[in-house]
Structure 1
Amino acid sequence: MKEELTLSIGILTISDTRNLLTDLSGQTIEQIITDHQLTVTDRIVVSDDVEAIHSGFEQLWGADVLITSGGTGLAKRDVTFEAVQPLIAQEIPGFGEFFRLLSFKEIGTHAMASRSLAFFTEDDKLVFVLPGSTHAVTLAMKQLILPEIYHLIKERRK
């Protein structure tokens, strides 16, 4: 349900192999957001490195909502979860649980290795951490984020 709230969204892709032109997941997120009349403040790509991820968050900090894609796998190089841990003031555990449930229905038990996360920061930024595949970001955006984004913000502002 779209409310009278105006939300701005920053998109951060975390990848050692993508740039703005080849970042299909970031482009997908941006297209879905703009199709729903929401505002994208900026879209950037950083390497899968803790310091680079922190720098990316700093660049996007003016947005109300931050959506990341990539760097959430189980490879040793995937450090997105570790990079965002210090930013978590209040986790929204149902997001990751529902994401894996929806993924399980589509890809089976491989979904157990899918790390996704939603949380609020100390200064009330809503952050969604998504895997890097276009299918994963489409699933998360259409089935979880867009249906609940206004509700989550309203709850946090109570």
Structure 2
Amino acid sequence: MTQQPHPDLLGITVTCAVVTVSDTRSPETDNSGQLIQQLLLNANHPVGAYTIIKDEPTQIKGQIEQLGRSSNLDAVIFNGGTGIAPKDTTYDAIENLLEKTLPGFGELFRYLSYQEIGSRAIASRAVAGVYQNKLIFSVPGSSNAVRLAMERLILPELSHLVGQMRK
């Protein structure tokens, strides 16, 4: 169980978009995208948008810019394309757009991943930050990585972080 430094008294509901970055997944085979949506709904956070896009920098950039203009969204969770293979471009497309970064997210994600998978965790380029007053998370596309990020980092802090942005 993750300890929280103080309880979130606001009970903020956070409307999220879920974006899967993949050249091969469809809505029927997107287990990680479906898992993110289910975990959000279980935590009473509505899913305001869901899409699958190709691992192409222009598509990723266009998607984050489009979602950034959406007034009904508070956060966007990307999954996929965070490795170092030539086709993995999610980190590069998102990182340059972030107005503020949350370095601790990637650091903690890699630390927690290291505890599960060992030194291979160094290949993850998970990142989080703020774009157009939206909280942005980008995590690897494996279901294990998604579950780890959602349960240990994103869901415990989602309401608090959005509350901070609204101040």
TM-score of the alignment, normalized to the shorter chain, above 0.5: yes
- Deviation readout 1:97-151 (Å, 9 max, x if unpaired): 0000100001111111111011011x21100000000000000000000111111
1:15 equivalent in alignment to 2:22: yes
Residue in structure 2 matching 1:92, options 102, 107, 112: 102
Residue in structure 1 matching 2:81, options 71, 76, 84: 71
Once residues 120 and 147 of structure 2 are traced to their aligned partners in structure 1, the CA distance between those partners, rounded to angstroms, is: 18
- Relative to structure 1, is the Cα distance of residues 79 and 2 closer, same or farther in structure 2, using a 3 angstrom cutoff? farther
- The amino acid of 1:65's aligned partner reads A
Once residues 10 and 88 of structure 2 are traced to their aligned partners in structure 1, the CA distance between those partners, rounded to angstroms, is: 36
- The amino acid of 2:98's aligned partner reads I
RMSD over aligned CA atoms reads 1.4
Residue in structure 2 matching 1:105, options 106, 115, 122: 115
Once residues 104 and 117 of structure 1 are traced to their aligned partners in structure 2, the CA distance between those partners, rounded to angstroms, is: 16
Aligned pairs for 1:27-66 within 5 A = 27-61=34-68, 62=70, 63-66=73-76
Tell me if the contact between 1:12 and 1:57 (Cα under 8 Å) persists in the aligned partners. no
Once residues 47 and 85 of structure 1 are traced to their aligned partners in structure 2, the CA distance between those partners, rounded to angstroms, is: 17
Once residues 33 and 5 of structure 1 are traced to their aligned partners in structure 2, the CA distance between those partners, rounded to angstroms, is: 13
Unmatched segments (≥5 aa) in structure 2: 1-7
The structural deviation recorded for 1:56 is 2.4
- Relative to structure 1, is the Cα distance of residues 2 and 67 closer, same or farther in structure 2, using a 3 angstrom cutoff? farther
The structural deviation recorded for 1:57 is 2.2
Aligned pairs for 1:123-134 within 5 A = 123-134=132-143
The structural deviation recorded for 1:58 is 4.0
Percent identical: 43
For 2:162, the equivalent position in structure 1 comes to: 153
- The amino acid of 2:92's aligned partner reads E
Once residues 17 and 57 of structure 2 are traced to their aligned partners in structure 1, the CA distance between those partners, rounded to angstroms, is: 18
Alignment coverage as a number of residue pairs: 157
Q: Mean Cα displacement is larger for which, 105-114 or 82-91? A: 82-91
Q: What TM-score comes out, normalization by structure 2 length?
A: 0.89
- The amino acid of 1:72's aligned partner reads T
The structural deviation recorded for 1:33 is 0.4
